[in-house]
Amino acid sequence: MGVSAVTALALGLVAAPAATAAPTDVISSGSGQIIDGSVLAMPNFASLASNGAATAQQIGTPPSGPAVIENSTPLDLSSVFGVVNVGSGNVPLLQNNGVITVGAVSQYGKAVNDGSSAAFSGTVSGAPGLVSLPGGLPTSGTTGIPAAEVKLGTANILGGADLVNVDLKITTLAAAAKKDQGSAAVGESAIAGVSADLGGTVIGGVAGTVGTAISTANLVLTPLGVTVANPLAGGTISITEADLLAVAGVPNLNALPPGTDLISFLPQAVANKITSLVNSTLASATTAVNALGPIAQITAGPALAVLTTALNGVVSGVSGTIVTPLSNALTALVSAKVNIKESNGGVFTQRALQVGVAGGNIATVNLANAVVGPNLDAAAIPVVNKDTLAISGAAALLALFAWLFFRARRRTAVVAA
């Protein structure tokens, strides 16, 4: 090999990149996105939602910008989506007393030039420990309400009778995801402080049966000094998180398997609550009647017996009068699935809650989303910059000088021989 060839080799070592990635490749990407999904009435909903995300990306190989890029821009729902109306009642989908309202929530994306990234969205106070968040993240959404509220009914969404209406409130809702260099992407979600109020004709029918029985008994009992209150008079049943957990059989909602539908627990929770309220009312009425004098008890006894039979009938029949029809109506109306994980083409997404309106046929709205990727592996990230150029250049020149020195030694040895 001649000197010119070796010199060319050395220059090649100086100039050659460490990998073959294109200058426009995305090295890493992290995106916090409060709202994502699809809406039948708005085909571009997903792209609009993406525009409103807090996305950080390292673009260009070799990387030339800051080592860490962060984005915490809050979501402005009104400017991103405008007005979106859905259902037979043409009701707003988002905010302004719409089907879905979000409270004080944040979104955050982080991209590092080593090919790693992280993302978060939701309530900062309930953020999973998977991702370290900077302090003072800005918030957006409606103040004075929970992290999220889902409020809709069969009448305004599907049309026809108001079989069921539900108001689901969630105090803590968050998702986090990260992709470390050389490791698979991982995600976690957090949900807590869930409650629901349910009404409609299904519950109203049972409430009416209970009310009629109590009103009939009170015709006899009230003149005797005992008045029985109807626990279902308002026609609405309030369900707590404890009620949901009792049906689900888990210690907390984050212990539910990914993709579990919170709505699926409501029919049995409502039946349990009605049973508890009716039994408590009957026990109180029995105690009050037993406290009457002997003569009053002679009059009150038959009325209490009739009431007991009627209310026991309500309790024994909740499976047919509440659980089955409520399950059918809710399944057609809405779903609320927790802890959704998706992977597609190097992109990993962690969703805290996926709300399906009319089985997703009208809308699927994902709340609190964290997206990482696609990220480049370390081997595909060029590290050519002024520092690495100097290092590789010095190495190449040293190789050249060593070859020249070795060749000179050989020539000297030949001449001496």
**HEC secondary structure over 166-189:** EEEEEEEEEEEEEECCCCCCEEEE
One-letter identity of residue 207: A
Closest CA to 167 of 103, 237, 231: 237
Antiparallel, parallel or unpaired: β 117-122 and 148-153:
unpaired
Provide the pLDDT for residue 156: 95
Distance CA 403, CA 11 (A): 15
Residues 368 and 351: beta-carbon distance below 8 Å = yes
Secondary structure (H, E, C), 261-276: EHHHHHHHHHHHHHHH
**Full strand arrangement of the beta sheet holding 363-372:** 54-59, 26-39, 363-372, 347-357, 334-344
What's the rounded Cα separation, in Å, for the pair 381 and 384? Answer: 9
Q: How confident is the model at residue 409, as a pLDDT?
A: 54
Matching residue, tokens 């390292």: 58
Residue 190 has a pLDDT of 97
CA atoms of 187 and 329, how far apart (whole Å):
33
Torsion 71-76-80-85 (CA) sign: positive
Q: At what angle do helices 324-333 and 201-221 cross, to 10 degrees?
A: 140
Per-residue pLDDT of the chain (417 residues; tens, 9 = 90+): 544 444 444 444 444 444 455 667 889 999 999 999 999 989 999 999 898 999 999 998 666 779 999 999 998 877 787 788 999 999 999 877 789 999 889 999 999 999 999 999 999 999 999 999 999 999 887 777 889 999 999 999 999 999 999 999 999 999 999 999 999 999 999 999 999 999 999 999 999 999 999 999 999 999 999 999 999 999 999 999 999 999 999 999 999 999 999 999 999 999 999 999 999 999 999 999 999 999 999 999 999 999 999 999 999 999 999 999 999 999 999 999 999 999 999 999 999 999 999 999 999 999 999 999 999 988 878 764 444 334 344 444 454 455 455 555 555 444 444
| 309-332 CB burial, b ≥16 within 10 A, e <16 | ebbeebbeebeebbbebbbebbee
105's CB contacts (< 8 A; 6+ apart) are 34, 75, 121, 122, 123, 139, 140, 141, 147, 148, 173, 368
Q: Are 277 and 206 within 8 A, CB to CB? A: no
- Return the pLDDT at 76: 83
Given the DSSP bridges, would you call strands 237-239 and 186-199 parallel, antiparallel or unpaired? antiparallel
Of 264, 308, 342, the C-alpha closest to 33 is 342
Closest CA to 304 of 318, 330, 285: 285
Q: What was the pLDDT predicted at 62? A: 67
User: Quick one: angle between helices 3-15 and 386-416, nearest 10?
Assistant: 160
Give dist(CA 360, CA 358) in Å, integer.
5
Q: Which residues pair with 152 in a beta bridge?
A: 166
Which one-letter DSSP state was computed for residue 42?
B
So where are the chain's domains?
Answer: 1-17+384-417, 18-380
Please answer whether residues 23 and 381 qualify as being in contact, where contact means their C-beta atoms are separated by less than 8 angstroms. no
Taking the model in full, what pTM does it have?
0.85
pLDDT for the residue 406: 52
Residues 6 or more apart from 312 whose CB is under 8 A from it? 282
Q: What single-letter DSSP state applies at residue 73?
A: P
CA 409 remoteness from chain centre: 72
Q: How is 87-140 classified by DSSP, letter by letter?
A: TTTTEESBSTT-SEEE-SBEEEEEEETTS-EEEEEE-GGG--TTS---SS---B
